[in-house]
Amino acid sequence: MIRPEWDWSLSDLASVPKNGRKVFSCFSCGGGSTMGYKLAGYEILGNVEIDPQMMALYKRNQDPKYPFQMPIQDFKNIPNEQLPAELFDLDILDGSPPCSVFSTSGKREKKWGKEHHFREGQAKQKLDDLFFDFLDVVEKLRPRIVVAENVRGMIIGLAKGYVSLVAKRFREMGYEPQLFRLNSATMGVPQKRERIFFIARRKDLELSDLALEFKERPTLYKEIRSGRGRPLEPNTRTYKRWLKRRPIDTSFGDITERVEGKVSNFNSILVHNDRVPNTVASNSCFIRYDEPHYISDSDIIRIQTFPKDYDFLDADVQYVCGMSVPPVMMKNIAQEIYKQWLYNLPA
């Protein structure tokens, strides 16, 4: 039986009790975080998003009061008097600065400090600078609380120095940051998705440390499986590799390492019925272990805990979901922030 967290609709948000607290989202993509805050009872005032396609999705599904389609660098330079007054009275400023240069896949250190296209068609940017552009917005708007999500690779190896610089900047601006490493599989999300969250509170609020500990039972793929994706073509190398799979294999990389003596197709994941699905990434392939088919779009939507009536317009479902924070993951965090911090603060 499908649990409500995986099988919800945008229309359900109308029945969620409101807590009177306000959020603004940066690097919002299609609104994964936004929907999480809404599920927790918050009001979302608007967003900043550079990608026209993502902004179209956000407007279609989130109906923001104050949408800003522009680079974060342009937003932070808007004169204060030209911004809505509500943005200077935020309970939470949310953001997921794109930092693919810290991903544990590829030669990440060689990418640091260089300009890259985050997505084809956009201006080149130094992706490792975007977090500090976001912090400039924090300094500008002075929200009570800041929530910033990012990849696990930020706390591995040399990137730890970058994390130290982020924490130092928070403190210089009058915030006390905490760093959490969370796995969505322990938070009611049918997906192993490890992410780090900087959660910082303004020092003048004199709040104690936030405690986040989630222990929900992991959800197996067979519990949310539905529909069927496109089949593997019988004459392809992918299909021939799939035929050589073994129960211990988690990806096609395991197959090629055993059979061909090299790791390839590392982005092609084997999805087992009795295991928790891997992280939904925008560029990975999910293939069912027990049949030569990709998983379905409805699988991806459920794995990411997106609403079943989300309108993807002409966008690729996996791309949008892979670029987003699972709404139920953010809902859990937002609920704890309200219970431990905001509930006792004057609005």
Catalytic residues: 99
Q: Considering only CA atoms, which of 56, 65, 70, 78 is closest in space to residue 26? A: 70
- Cα angle 223-287-195, degrees, rounded to a multiple of 5: 70
- Residue 42, C-beta contacts closer than 8 angstroms, at least 6 positions apart: 18, 19, 21, 22, 23, 91, 92, 334, 338
CA dihedral 37, 41, 46, 49 (to 10 degrees): 10
Where do we find the tokens 């322990």? Answer: 186
Q: E-strand spans in the chain?
A: 22-26, 43-49, 66-69, 92-95, 115-116, 125-126, 145-151, 175-183, 194-202, 268-271, 285-288
In angstroms, the Cα distances linking 284 to 93, 163, 192 are 30, 27, 14
